[in-house]
Structure 1
Amino acid sequence: MNNCLHCGIATANPKYCSRSHAAIHTNQQAPKRQLTRKCQECDTLIPGSRQFCAVHGKRKADYRLLTVAQLKAKDAIKHPSYYRGYLNSITRLLNAHRPRTCQAYGYDKHVEYCHIQPISAFPDSVMVQEVSGPENILVLCPNCHWEYDHSLSAINPALPSQ
Structure 2
Amino acid sequence: MNNCLHCGAQTSNPKYCSRSHAAIHTNQQAPKRHLTRKCAECDTLIPGDRQFCAVHGKRKADYRLLTVAQLKAKDAIKHPSYYRGYLNSITRLLNAHRPRVCQACGYDKHVEYCHKQPIKAFPASTTVQKVSGPENILVLCPNCHWEYDHGLLTESPALLGR
Task: Give the TM-score, by structure 2 length.
Answer: 0.74
Query: What's the CA shift for 1:104?
Result: 0.5
Q: 1:39, 1:46 within 8 Å by CA — same for their partners in 2?
A: no
1:30-109 maps to which residues of 2 (within 5 A)?
30-32=30-32, 34-43=34-43, 44-47=45-48, 50-55=49-54, 56-73=56-73, 74-75=75-76, 78-79=79-80, 81-109=81-109
Q: 2:114, 2:137 within 8 Å by CA — same for their partners in 1?
A: yes
| Paired positions, count | 155
Q: 1:99 to 1:29 in 2, by over 3 A?
A: farther
Gaps in structure 2 of 5+ consecutive residues: 1-5, 11-18
One-letter amino acid matched to 1:95:
N
Tell me, in whole angstroms, the C-alpha distance in 2 between the residues paired with 1:20 and 1:53: 36
Gaps in structure 1 of 5+ consecutive residues: 6-10, 13-18
Q: 2:115, 2:136 within 8 Å by CA — same for their partners in 1?
A: yes
Q: Give the match for residue 8 of structure 1.
A: none
Query: What's the CA shift for 1:140?
Result: 0.2
Task: Give the TM-score, by structure 1 length.
Answer: 0.74
Query: What's the CA shift for 1:93?
Result: 0.2
Q: 1:134, 1:160 within 8 Å by CA — same for their partners in 2?
A: no
Tell me, in whole angstroms, the C-alpha distance in 2 between the residues paired with 1:125 and 1:24: 56
Once the two structures are aligned, what percentage of the paired residues are identical? 74
Q: 1:31 to 1:106 in 2, by over 3 A?
A: farther
SS state at 2:37 partner = strand
Tell me, in whole angstroms, the C-alpha distance in 2 between the residues paired with 1:33 and 1:131: 44
